[in-house]
Amino acid sequence: MTLMATIMVTFLGANIQSRSITESSVLHAAATSMIYGIIEQIKQLDYATLLPNYETDPFAPGSKTPPYLRVRLNQSNVVWLRVVHTLASTEDAPTTPQGPTTTPAPGASAASVSAIPNFLGSIPLSTVTGTTSQQINLDIWVWIDEIPDSENDVSEVKKITIVYTYSYLDGSVERVVRDREVFLRTRFDQ
């Protein structure tokens, strides 16, 4: 009898742990899928005029001022991601790339890494509503650094760094995950 009870408790514990791990994996996949969708849109933006855009978009909310990137989250939501843009360094105006070289700690604020927060709010992951619905809260920080290297005959290249933070409820506990993606974009890669 004791052996059977021990096996049942072990089985139930494994089931609960498995569900939690599966749910966090699904949420991570949803967040990274959304980020990679945004990255693909950024790769298609016009290098000279839209990466980043310094013109005021008449459709942008009043609180969004250039420089920014206009991207679509889904069929009905368009967002303007404000960016930190570092121009290419020159002798007269030396600059240093501002994008972080490592993923900031989960507790770091946007101000502590010289970023502009782009909190996208609660994004539902399905059409289910009520207490069984699951959503993620997504915040994105974007840096665009112009990094030409004339010694190696590289004239027009931008390094885009995206740090994204998402949170979700795991039972009654809020979990926070932060990750970073970096990619290069040249003028001639469209």
DSSP assignment of 77-128 equals -EEEEEEEEEPPP-SSS-----S-SSPPPTT--TGGGT---EEEEEEESSS-
Rounded to whole angstroms, the Cα distance separating 163 from 143 reads 9
Could you tell me the residue range of the domain that residue 60 belongs to? Answer: 2-186
pLDDT grade for 136, boundaries at 50, 70 and 90:
confident
- pLDDT, residue 69, reads 93
Low-confidence winner among 49-58, 121-130, 176-185 (lowest mean pLDDT): 121-130
Both tokens assigned to 190:
């469209």
Q: How far is CA 135 from CA 24, 71, 126, 131, in A?
A: 12, 20, 8, 11
- The model's pTM is 0.82
Q: Which residue has the higher pLDDT, 59 or 171?
A: 59
Residue pair 136/31 in contact by the 8 Å Cβ criterion: yes
pLDDT band at 95 (very low <50, low <70, confident <90, very high): confident
Report the pLDDT value the prediction gives residue 128, as an integer from 0 to 100.
59
Tokens matching residue 71: 């991207």
Q: Residue range 129-153: average pLDDT? A: 81
Q: Is the pLDDT of residue 160 over 90?
A: yes
> Percentage of the chain surpassing pLDDT 70?
91
Instruction: Give the chain as a DSSP string.
Output: -HHHHHHHHHHHHHHHHHHHHHHHHHHHHHHHHHHHHHHHHHHHS-TTTTTTB-SPPTTS-TT--SSEEEEESSSS-EEEEEEEEEPPP-SSS-----S-SSPPPTT--TGGGT---EEEEEEESSS--STT--EEEEEEEEEEEE--BGGGTB-SEEEEEEEEEEEEEETTEEEEEEEEEEEEEETT--
Please tell me whether the peptide bond between 148 and the residue prior to it is cis, using omega within 30 degrees of 0: no
Looking at the predicted structure, is the pLDDT value of residue 108 above 70?
yes
pLDDT for residue 188 is more than 70? yes
Q: Percent of the chain at pLDDT above 90?
A: 32
What is the number of structural domains in the chain? 1
